[in-house]
Amino acid sequence: MDRAYLDIEQLHLFTLASAFFIIRAKSNLKFRRLYSQPIDKSIGLRCDQVGVLTGFYSAQHYPDKFRRIKFHDPETDKTLIFLTNNFSLPAITITELYKCRWQLELFFKWIKQHLRIKSFFGTSENAVKTQIWIAVSVYVLVAIIKKRHQCKASLYTILQILSLTLFERIPLIQLLTNREADMNKIISPNQLNLFD
């Protein structure tokens, strides 16, 4: 999590639930080092320390030990300080996990921009997951249609066309490319006849 989400009480609940977290530390965080662990400065690590919080309220809300890792990122030329309750992973792995968090944020940004989920019909966990998976599935199917028919229109445009012509019996190739569809190729020989 980014430092905007630094809530000491919530972090302690994660620890009590046997979950681990990685979060950026705020600059005014009061921390007392108990001991330091050896690091490799050639890979950007500056320190790997175990300690406790010393602020009046923060020490009460999180009485357990923290691990503080300082890392200098050569790509951005920034020094980042991470807090975690994971004492088993190497320090460099902690920094890489934090970096991967950005990919998750980009994924959720993509979902907001492309799936156009305005509201949920159900609010239970299962209902929300089902609706997101349906939206992702529709998006992937439309992407397959776009590639298969070599359609020049954007995915958004194709979705708009499909939503307007949902109940019309027009072959997709004709709908998306203005080419006349060959009905002999479209009708499957495995098609069952309803009225024999």
> Which tens digit of pLDDT belongs to each residue from 34-80?
998 988 888 989 999 998 988 888 888 888 888 999 999 888 888 99
What is the pLDDT of the chain when averaged over all its residues? 83
| Residue linked to tokens 């010393």 | 54
Burial class (CB in 10 A: 0-12, 13-18, 19+), 132: middle
pLDDT band for 89, please (50, 70, 90 cuts): very high
> Of all residues in the chain, what percent carry a pLDDT higher than 90?
16
* 3-class secondary structure, 25: coil
Given a cut of 80, whether residue 158 has pLDDT beyond it is yes
Q: Kindly tell me the number of DSSP H helices and DSSP E strands found in the chain.
A: 7, 5
What per-residue confidence (pLDDT) applies to 67?
A: 92
Q: What is the mean pLDDT of residues 118-143?
A: 85
Given a cut of 90, whether residue 14 has pLDDT beyond it is no
What per-residue confidence (pLDDT) applies to 69?
A: 93
Q: What is the mean pLDDT of residues 19-23?
A: 90
Helix (H) or strand (E) holding 80: strand 78-84
> Which tens digit of pLDDT belongs to each residue from 164-175?
887 888 887 777
What per-residue confidence (pLDDT) applies to 181?
A: 53
Given a cut of 60, whether residue 188 has pLDDT beyond it is no
Q: What is the mean pLDDT of residues 86-91?
A: 92
What per-residue confidence (pLDDT) applies to 191?
A: 64
CB 58 within 8 A of CB 89: no
What per-residue confidence (pLDDT) applies to 87?
A: 92
Q: Based on C-alpha coordinates, what's the Rg of the chain?
A: 26
